[in-house]
A and B are shown apart, each in its own frame.
Chain A
Amino acid sequence: MSLAWQAIAVLFDLPTYILPTPVDAAESLWTNRDELWAATLVTTGEVLAGFSIAVVISIPVAMLLVSFRWFETVVYPFIVLLQTVPKIALAPLFVVWFGFGILPKVLVTFLICFFPILLDTMTGLRSSNPDMASLVRSMGGGTWAIFRKVRLPAALPHVFAGVKVAITLAVVGAVVGEFVGATQGLGYLLLRANANLDTPLLFAAIAILTVLGLVLYYAVSLVERLVIPWHVSQRAEGTVTTGPAV
């Protein structure tokens, strides 16, 4: 692909500020490596902080929502309302309230990650076979035992589905947070490179963001494989080999 890219850039003789060649981008990546590395650390920190807080808060909230009818009736409409407000539009407000530090970025990331995890966890907690609950009751177990032994483990595959969506959105959240007001981070570098028409640097930053997203996604997938090796989606023999046998 990068060969085709290089070919197009060279063949059409496009100026570097429109489409730099991969070689230009790689060069920029190397010359600005210190600054890019520092920015990557900042952005990664924001992503992980917002994402982790979302995981830690949304899962217990989902448990409360499915466990108590009244809680769902009272709280869920607010959560949906919160979700419908475009979080990207909130970002400038957060800058006004919380300044240019990492807090507003973490907050945007958190808000973006919160809903997918919440929704999938709720679906998961409601997905177990009701007879399984009867089984635990017939062994003398109560609501808590059913929750711990049946509903929670049965929910995990759904939780991971939500968490995987969230981690890919988390990077978007942090970058948007940086766009509206920042002095550091990859989003900030993107804006600066854009203003200076330093398109090779722009491409270098985009490349790093893509790699960051991929690494985080596969890290979550790895955790998933370790935590729920029993689930259909994780079974090796579940994958049907297509294509020629030889």
Chain B
Amino acid sequence: MSMADIRDSAPVAATGTQIDVRGLEIEYETSGGPVHALGPIDLTIGAGEFVSVVGPSGCGKSTLLKAVAGLIRPSAGGVSIGGAPITKPHSDLGIVFQNPLLMDWRSVLSNVLLQAEMRSMPKQQATAKAKALLAQVGLAGFENRRPHELSGGMQQRVGICRALLHEPPLIMMDEPFGALDALTREQMCYDLQDLWLERRPTVLFITHSISEATLLSDRVIVMSKRPGQILAEYEMTRPRPRLLDDDEHPEVDRVSREIRRLLGVTDHATTKKAS
């Protein structure tokens, strides 16, 4: 593995695209009247930056991701990607949705290859790439199964392979490891870290896991309850590749505590000690 070289040499030239979010607000029309789901949000994600978003359930994280991807129209403000204002769905990216969104009528492999079909990628190369990705996430031998024959965590991994197949310069992931067991989740985190170190895509990563956020990110964004706004941002500067059990690291320790405090988690052990 060439990870050591990457660390020691000058940073790999970023292949990612910059994202600018300005005054973004989203209101959903519902039968019970408009629901103010998000914003206003101001956020810049640099080219090749890895940004995580954490926040309480229902605060608008998925809404933010969809709005940035151009999949829902802002009620106010807007988004630019690579300097160009987004007016329709942006397609130069890979998205992992919160729900695996696999097509029942396609095999696992064919679900991953949907990406290739839609982008007219050469069939043979794409198939080889898809098989390699599936093997990497531990799904070798499942290529010809139907999605319903897979567990929730396996389905999620298929969705991840589909989002990465075309090596996009921008990756958006909505709680991609939510349904995984602890060990697979760790492995996937490390794989994602490697991928990012190799190619430096811009990543918008939504998670409920503070350890995932502190492991992977250049910056962690904490969102408030609905309508979601940015409560705080934390730069994560410790060198990569990082390890998950680095809780002792002062930066990780401090940021984790602050996020927990912001999100209202009371730590009885510390409060007792302090008093």
Contact = CB atoms under 8 A, between A and B. Distances in A.
A140 B91 CA distance: 5
Nearest to A128: B103
Interface stretch (B3-11, B50-58, B114-122, B182-190): B114-122
B116 to A, nearest CB: 9
Nearest to B120: A140
B146 interface: yes
A230 B101 contact: no
Given A131-B97, A140-B118, A153 B103 contact: yes
A119 B93 CA distance: 38
Interface in A117-145: 129, 131-132, 134-141, 145
Interface residues of B, number: 21
B101 A137 contact: no
A138 B104 contact: no
A127 to B, nearest CB: 12
A59 interface: no
Contacts of A135: 95, 97, 101
Interface in A198-235: 228, 230-232, 235
Interface string B91-133: 1010101010101110000000011011100000000000000
Nearest to A129: B101
A121 to B, nearest CB: 16
B41 interface: no
A132 B91 contact: no
Nearest to A228: B105
B97 A136 contact: no
Given A131-B101, A150-B103, A230-B104, A138 B114 contact: no
B66 to A, nearest CB: 7
Main secondary structure of the interface of B (DSSP, over half): loop
Interface residues of A, number: 22
A33 interface: no
Interface string A151-166: 0011010000000000
Given A134-B89, A235-B148, A140 B119 contact: yes
Given A149-B114, A230-B146, A134 B91 contact: no
Contacts of A228: 105
Contact of B66 (A134, A150, A154, A235): A134
B105 A153 contact: yes
B119 A138 contact: no
B238 interface: no
A137 B89 contact: yes
Contacts of A153: 103, 105
B103 A132 contact: yes
Contacts of A150: 103
Interface string B67-109: 0010100000000000000000111010101010101110000
A129 B90 CA distance: 20
A139 B91 contact: yes
A139 B119 contact: yes
Contacts of A138: 69, 71, 89-91, 93, 95
B55 to A, nearest CB: 20
A141 B93 CA distance: 13
Nearest to B146: A230
Contacts of B71: 134, 137-138
Contacts of B99: 129, 131
A134 B90 CA distance: 10
A230 B119 contact: no
A134 B71 CA distance: 6
Nearest to A150: B103
Interface string B23-64: 000000000000000000000000000000000000000000
Interface of B: 66, 69, 71, 89-91, 93, 95, 97, 99, 101, 103-105, 114-115, 117-119, 146, 148
Closest 9 CB pairs of A and B: A140-B91, A139-B118, A137-B89, A134-B71, A153-B105, A230-B105, A138-B95, A230-B104, A135-B101
Given A129-B101, A134-B89, A232-B148, 14 more contacts: A132-B101, A136-B114, A136-B118, A138-B69, A138-B90, A139-B115, A139-B118, A139-B119, A140-B118, A145-B118, A149-B103, A149-B118, A228-B105, A231-B104
10 contacts: A129-B99, A134-B71, A140-B91, A149-B117, A149-B118, A150-B103, A230-B104, A230-B146, A230-B148, A232-B148
